[in-house]
Structure 1
């Protein structure tokens, strides 16, 4: 009689665990669907796209993003996001359409994030 009751207890525990696991999976799927994340709109474009990123320090970077087809250069730190510049869409399209190393004078040379960062550093350095 004890064997039957222990088998029943184990079976009830396994079924209870399976039911809880199933409920968690359903809740996770519903949360993902209704949270507005990328899984809610399969195949849709994101409103914000990160196009390029360049680290300028341990906790700071310059990021080129596109928001609603408007290219922006942002300064990003742990505590702030600052708009550095709004880019011309045609120039950015030419930049993105070229290979990484087209040589001097190409579109990537004209819109080089590193040179922009250096220019910003030169303008913001405190001089004695």
Structure 2
């Protein structure tokens, strides 16, 4: 069975690379994007099951609206710092599925991802 695919969207390469490594070890297929425009290209060319996105990038170029309109089945987990909590709250109310605080706790993030994709499906 094909593993679930996750698109990681963050401006920082180190964050993307670390998440891709950790989630790849968990059996997920990971794609990386550093901005909303590139993320839209990945979404149109790949079968994505989940997006993990920095909350600062969520509304750039209408990414959140784009996801809700064209990919309503994709699960969205936000990465947020304390100062971005208002943006995170609004996104959760509007339909995002979950969030994790930065700095990231990889075990917490893996737990949240596995909640939506239990290991029996991988």
TM superposition score category, shorter chain reference? under 0.3
Query: If the length of structure 2 is used for normalisation, what is the TM-score?
Result: 0.28
Structure number with the bigger relative contact order (C-alpha 8 A, sep ≥ 6) is 2
Query: If the length of structure 1 is used for normalisation, what is the TM-score?
Result: 0.27
